[in-house]
Amino acid sequence: MPIGKSQIRVMPNLATWIRQKDAKAFRTIFATHPDIKVWNARTRKVPLDRMDGLLLSGGSDISPEFLRQEVPDPSVLDKQIDLDRDRWEFQAVQNALSRGLPILAICKGLQVFNVALGGTLKLDITGHNLADQKHRDVQPLRNARKASHRFPKVNSAHHQAIDRLGDDLEVEAWAAHDGIIEQVRLRKYPFALGVQYHPERSGIYDSLFEDFFARLETAKR
């Protein structure tokens, strides 16, 4: 019996830019959803208009030309800024927002998302880039009552963070000891979640990825 169009399952397409050093961790995550086709803009051209969702992952600091603020001391910025990546990610954010696609933003990705929506950054902070914070869930959080995902401690290591929130972003979690923003969501939008921590590095965040992947499936239908 021939297969009708209604019986053919089309794979959702996920746009992202993932560093080589992070590829292994994300492969483990993506292996649980082989039905999702991942397009890594670092290694191939991504047809954005065919994508069903956007994943913004960790990376180096944002290039000053994209920031909505002065940089009084350029020495605090990473030396390995990737301008090509920044150009692609800011374009990808605008494309995804214009189409209402699900967005998950991680670490640098959260900062890109915030700046794309008109926000600014704390360009250099202390106490959030310690070695044991990179892979261990040791950063205590204070969660908003209506947070979509709640974690008591996270593996958050970074030297920049959100300062002024971008338009329509709502904070869902803060670092308990100093109030640095660790999780946001975009109000009145189907699904756009940004986290300062690294959910790809620990199985305790599986529910977050499952939520995001489910939205990709819905977007494809």
In this structure, which amino acid lies at residue 94? Q
Site of tokens 């990610």? 89
Task: Kindly name the residue from 89, 172, 182, 200 that is annotated as catalytic.
Answer: 200
Half-sphere exposure of 133 (CA within 13 A, CB side): 17
72 vs 205, more confident: 205
The full set of domain ranges for the chain reads 10-220
Q: Write down the pTM of the prediction.
A: 0.93
Which of 114, 194, 115, 108 is closest to 158 using CA atoms?
A: 108
Q: Which sign, positive or negative, has the C-alpha torsion 110, 112, 115, 116? A: negative
142 vs 132, more confident: 142
Which token pair is 77? Answer: 């910025």
Contacts of 96 (CB under 8 A, 6+ apart): 15, 48, 51, 53, 54, 103
Task: Kindly name the residue from 33, 89, 107, 182 that is annotated as catalytic.
Answer: 107
Question: How confident is the model at residue 1, as a pLDDT?
Answer: 46
Active site residue 107: yes
- Architecture, CATH, for domain 10-220: 3-Layer(aba) Sandwich (3.40)
Cβ atoms of 111 and 63 within 8 Å: the answer is no
Cβ atoms of 155 and 138 within 8 Å: the answer is yes
Which token pair is 168? Answer: 């329509």
Question: How confident is the model at residue 8, as a pLDDT?
Answer: 53
198 vs 129, more confident: 198
- Mean pLDDT of the region 24-42: 96
Least confident piece of the model among 89-93, 102-106, 132-136, 208-212 = 132-136
pLDDT digit string, tens, across residues 38-93? 999 999 999 999 999 999 999 999 999 999 899 988 999 988 899 999 999 999 99
pLDDT of 4 > 90? The answer is: no
pLDDT digit string, tens, across residues 145-195? 999 999 999 999 999 999 999 999 999 999 999 999 999 999 999 999 999
Using CA atoms in the order 213, 216, 217, 221, what is the torsion angle rounded to 10 degrees?
Answer: 170
Mean pLDDT of all residues belonging to the chain: 93
CA–CA separation, 130 and 93 (whole Å): 30
Task: Kindly name the residue from 33, 128, 158, 198 that is annotated as catalytic.
Answer: 198
Question: How confident is the model at residue 6, as a pLDDT?
Answer: 47
Q: Is 18 helix (H, G, I), strand (E, B) or coil?
A: coil
pLDDT of 144 > 80? The answer is: yes
Which of 17, 115, 26 is closest to 65 using CA atoms?
A: 115
